[in-house]
Amino acid sequence: MFFLAFLPQFVSTQHALAPQFILLGTVCVLLNSLVDLIAVFAANRILASGSAKAARQRLLSRCSGVTMLALSVLVAIANRES
């Protein structure tokens, strides 16, 4: 649905539509995958470096847990207001 809503503004009506959608969708997926890979390798490097590996893992685990809890509260509040 995202591609159908976002990509038409970048498509030229003077050329075939399908190849343009395929190219733009592929570029978007590749860029998103690249960012995900960079994040995974960065997180792995942070966790693997230094002597405080266990402490960093606990800290990252707690931070991600707090983030998930905060997001769930925000979703609950947003649903209540709509």
Number of domains in the chain: 2
Residue 24 included in any domain: yes
Cα 7 to Cα 25: distance, rounded to the nearest angstrom: 8
Q: Are residues 63 and 42 in the same domain?
A: no
**pTM for the predicted model, two decimal places:** 0.53
Write the pLDDT tens digit of every residue in 25-70.
Answer: 899 999 999 999 999 998 888 777 765 677 778 888 999 999 999 9
The set of residues, in sequence order, having a beta carbon less than 8 Å from that of 22 and lying 6+ positions away, is none
Which residues span the domain enclosing 59?
Answer: 51-82
Q: Are 31 and 22 in contact (CB under 8 A)?
A: no
Residue 43 included in any domain: yes
Q: Are residues 56 and 29 in the same domain?
A: no
Write the pLDDT tens digit of every residue in 60-74.
Answer: 899 999 999 999 999
